[in-house]
Amino acid sequence: MLVLVGFMGAGKTTVGRLVADRLGLPFIDSDLVIEHRTGKAVRDLFAEEGERAFRDLEHQVVAELVGGPDAVVALGGGAVEHEGTRRVLQASPAQVVYLRVGWEQALGRLGDDPARPMLRAPDLRRIYERRLAWYEEVATWVVPTDGRTPREVGATIIERA
């Protein structure tokens, strides 16, 4: 079981798909599981129910996924905001791979994506800084992504997985 964590724009989904293909494992994106289960887009869940409700739902889904069948799982960038989710990741035997991305690189990769409600947070930089320690805390290993293509990052992961 490989779980990819990291800030928005780290490349979790792109790299996750590549790695899953190469390892012959299913790829699961926790945001898509949440959208499928609720029948709502992430941005609508944020708007209608608030971030706290989204994080609780995300916590449940992450606990199920890491306890489930072998897969490559990409988590939403904010999953580590929830203490229970951090605990689930730390207690799990899964390899938790932190895709580290610098602030400038993350912004450059993201543009202005309306599907990502957190991009409109006025204190996004502070949120980014706050999460860095949490990613480190849950990670089994850290893979830098700045200046590297998803293929290069994927190759690094496959070598060690």
Stretch that binds ligand S3P, among 16-24, 64-72, 76-84, 93-101 (CB under 6 A): 76-84
Distance CA 8, CA 94 (A): 21
Between CA 93 and CA 106 the distance in angstroms is 28
68 annotated ligand-binding residue: no
Taking contact as CB under 6 A, which single stretch among the options 19-27, 70-78, 137-145, 152-160 is the one that binds ligand S3P? Answer: 70-78
Interface with ligand S3P (CB under 6 A), residue total 10
Pick from 2, 118, 139, 153: which binds ligand S3P (CB under 6 A)?
118
Distance CA 76, CA 31 (A): 6
Given 11, 16, 76, 150, the residue binding ligand S3P (CB under 6 A) = 76
Radius of gyration of the chain (CA): 15
User: Euclidean distance between the first and final Cα of the chain, in Å?
Assistant: 9
Provide the minimum distance between the beta carbon of 79 and ligand S3P in the complex, in angstroms, as a whole number: 7
For residue 148, the 8-state DSSP code is -
Q: Does 138 bind ligand S3P (CB under 6 A)?
A: no
CB 55, min distance to ligand S3P, A? 9
Among 16, 117, 150, 154, contact with ligand S3P (rule: CB under 6 A): 117
What residues from 7 to 66 belong to the interface with ligand S3P (CB under 6 A)?
Answer: 8, 12, 31, 42
Instruction: Give the separation between CA 136 and CA 100, rounded to whole angstroms.
Output: 9
Give one DSSP letter per residue of 80-147, joined into a string.
GGSHHHHHHHHHS-SEEEEEE--HHHHHHHH-S-TT-GGGG-TTHHHHHHHHHHHHHHH-SEEEE-TT
27-29/72-74 β-pairing: parallel
Closest separation in Å from C-beta 131 to ligand S3P = 8
| Residues lying near ligand S3P in the complex (CB under 6 A) | 8, 12, 31, 42, 76-78, 116-118
Binding residues for substrate: 31, 55, 77, 131
